[in-house]
Structure 1
């Protein structure tokens, strides 16, 4: 009887320990950004500044897609906002929404003691082949919403050069 009880406890202990431990799998560089696609799968994204390219990896760290980001002259990548396969087109191509920025100094800027530069944003929607689906100047924020059976994209656009201006929200109907 004691042996059966001990064996039962030992088997329960081994079964519990075998299935409840947290197991280290791998690490990724802090420069990666995790995203969730519209089908629910997770991916990691890393940007190569020199090649102006994003590399999209599966959760097991295998390369899934490579997309070159066409940045306007003198612009830097601000942020990858969305990666999708069905939000803008119903084909299998990946679509990427990203913002980029440019720092400019006004021509009449003469006082070297004043640190003033203007930031110009651009929001871009492209396919994985680099085809431009949309470009909005003076914007770096967007949101996808679902309402009454429709999908809309809201793009928040900066109007004017100061934060006191009334900004605009551009509304786009998505397929």
Structure 2
């Protein structure tokens, strides 16, 4: 009798496991959608409305919680919303946002990034002209903000990193924070100019590989030339205009890797 009960339990477990699947739960109309675990407010979703320059925050049931206007200097447009927090960039109870804006100067012939941090009341906490990508990490003396710097006024554009000490506290529960072990798997350089290196898993079979490229509206673009170099794919971006793009690496019908690219020239 015990054997029969055990067999039935195993069959039920197998059926339940085989029925498990990934289901579409919700679809945002905005880019850069993500989730964050805020110390006071708990879990929230947020997304970037690049057309109207807003940060839109949702409850976990996808109902609207709050919309915050992001001030935009003349000629710039919003390209990324990288962090939403309560206590990383200062210690008051207001929400804070780290975002990136971009401007292409046709007279000078190159683009310019600027990283900004503001709170929900519109007070600017930091402005880093040239900053295109940011990461928050814990350190021995408190939390640090690392901002990747780009100067496209040079023919071989310079790349550097600025490190800022933060008054707020770092929390590993904040889902904005990038795991340092996975950071090496991000595309590089990003922003890119003439090419970008896209990571692929170790031991990956490079046969039957295609790359799908999309603009910020989700329109699929013509395939750009690419080649393999170890665990990296070198994708040409020389024909792409400055802006925000998304890529997807496919093998046959399976998506192996995907991510976001910024192109600056």
Residue 25 of structure 1 deviates from its aligned partner by 7.7
Aligned match of 1:27: 26
Distance change (3 Å), C-alpha of 1:43 and 1:72: same
Distance 2:76 2:53 in 1: 11
Which of 113, 130, 134 is the aligned partner of 1:138?
130
Matched, 1:48 2:49: yes
Distance in 2 (CA, whole Å) between partners of 1:62 and 1:120 is 35
* Change over 3 Å in CA distance of 1:38–1:46 after alignment to 2: closer
Question: Which residue matches 1:150?
Answer: 142
SS of the aligned residue for 1:169 comes to strand
Residue pairs, 1:109-124, within 5 angstroms? 117-124=109-116
Distance 1:10 1:126, change over 3 A: same
Give a deviation string over 1:47-96, Cα, whole Å, max 9, x none: 33443212111221022222111111111111001111000122221100
Does 1:129 find its partner at 2:128?
Answer: no
Give me the CA root mean square deviation.
3.1
2:164 corresponds in structure 1 to 172
- TM-score normalised by the chain length of structure 1: 0.74
Asked which structure has the greater CA Rg, the reply is 1
1:78/1:120 Cα in 2 relative to 1: closer, same or farther (>3 Å)?
A: same
Deviations 1:96-125 (A, max 9, x none): 000010122126xxxxxxxxx421111000
Q: Is residue 68 of structure 2 the alignment partner of residue 100 of structure 1?
A: no
The size of the alignment, in residue pairs, is 163
- SS of residue in 1 equivalent to 2:154: coil
CA drift of 1:37 comes to: 3.5
- In structure 2, relative to structure 1, the CA distance for the partners of 1:28 and 1:8 (3 Å cut) is same
**Contact 1:37–1:85 (CA<8 Å) still a contact in 2?**
no
Change in CA separation of 1:22 and 1:90 when aligned onto 2, cut-off 3 Å: farther
Distance in 2 between residues matched to 1:10 and 1:134, nearest whole Å: 61
Match of 2:69 in 1: 68
Q: What SS is found at the alignment partner of 1:28?
A: coil
Distance, in Å, in 2 between the alignment partners of 1:81 and 1:89 is 16
| Cα distance change on mapping 1:6 and 1:79 into 2, 3 Å | same
Structure 2 residues without counterparts, runs of 5 or longer? 168-265
